[in-house]
Structures are given as C-alpha cells and as structure tokens.
Amino acid sequence: MLATILSKVLLMCAYVFANWKVFAGVLTYMTGSAYWPTVLFGCSLSGGVIVLFSHFIAKLFLRFIKINTVPESEFCFFATLAWTLYCLILGLLNLVYLFAPTFVTWGTAIFPVVATLLSGLAFYVVTSKLYFNNATKAYYFKMLSIAIIVLAVMAGGAL
C-alpha cells in the first residue's frame, strides 16, 4: 500500500518535471507572464488527473488482452512506475531546450516517442520476467507493442 502511494506521488512529481515548460508557455501565451506558483499548480492538477486514470488504464489493458493470471494491483504498480519513468525521461530530454532552443521543433516530435519506447521496453522486460512464461510472452509482447505504438503516436501530440 505504501509503495503504491509513493509511486503515485513520484508520478505526479515526475509529471510536473516533464510538463512545466508546456504549462509555462500556455500561461505566458494566455496572460502575458508565467507566474510560477500558478504553473506548478496547473501541472500538479493535471498530474493528479493522470494519477487517477493510470490505475484504470492499466486494468483496462489487462482486461483487453484477456490475461487473468497476472495480479492487477502489482501490474498497476509497475504501470505507474513505467509512466513515471516516461515522465522522467521526457523531463530530462526537455532540458535540451534550455541549451539548444533551435531543437524545439524536432524535440517536440521526437522526445515523447523516444520516452514512450524506452519506458515501454523497460515495462515489458520487468513484467515479462515476473508474470509470463515462454509460451505467453509472444502474445504479451504483441499486445503490449500495439499499446506502446498507440501511446507513442498519442504522445507525439497529446502528452
């Protein structure tokens, strides 16, 4: 229980780290200045929504692929950690914008895809070792790859 709560708090902090620049840009565009407490509050509020839906999305994925032998709470915990890893990788890659502002055009399209693929690969490696044998790994890889590709396409524009 404590690990789940800590992973969700870490996810919210990582989400704020990954998206502060986007919220600051939107706030600057709308009001003319970025007041940092407002930026952090907006990021935290959005991160709270992500935390609420992360557990639901992981359970929905498990039901979609019809594998009933995996414990849902542990799978959701690892999904939360994978999403946290995604946000941390994206936040670290977004630091490139501070040093090379001309890279914003390419980075906006490439960084979310790279972060999604890396965190998805890490999630697959951990969960396949823990929950799947050699017979079911191929099916799990196929279904998870489809989900990761869908998330990578969505992350290119939405996350």
Round to whole Å and give the CA distance between 61 and 93. 28
Is the pLDDT at 44 greater than 70, yes or no? yes
Total of domains in the chain: 1
Q: Please name the amino acid found at residue 104.
A: V
**CB neighbour list of residue 97: distance below 8 Å, 6 or more residues apart:** 21, 103, 104, 107
pLDDT of residue 158: 45
The model's pLDDT over 101-126, given as tens digits with 9 standing for 90+, comes to 888 788 887 888 888 889 989 999 99
Given pLDDT bands bounded at 50, 70 and 90, which one contains residue 156? Answer: low
- Average per-residue pLDDT in the chain? 85
Round to whole Å and give the CA distance between 38 and 61. 34
Cβ atoms of 19 and 46 closer than 8 Å: yes
Is the pLDDT at 155 greater than 80, yes or no? no
The model's pLDDT over 53-107, given as tens digits with 9 standing for 90+, comes to 888 888 888 888 888 888 888 888 999 999 999 999 999 998 888 888 888 788 8
Tell me the residue range of the domain where 57 lies: 2-155
> What is the average per-residue pLDDT within 37-66?
86
Is the pLDDT at 6 greater than 90, yes or no? yes
Is the pLDDT at 152 greater than 80, yes or no? no
pLDDT of residue 21: 84
Element containing residue 45 per DSSP (H, E): helix 36-65
The token pair at 95 is: 């630091």
| Location of structure tokens 């990788």 | 89
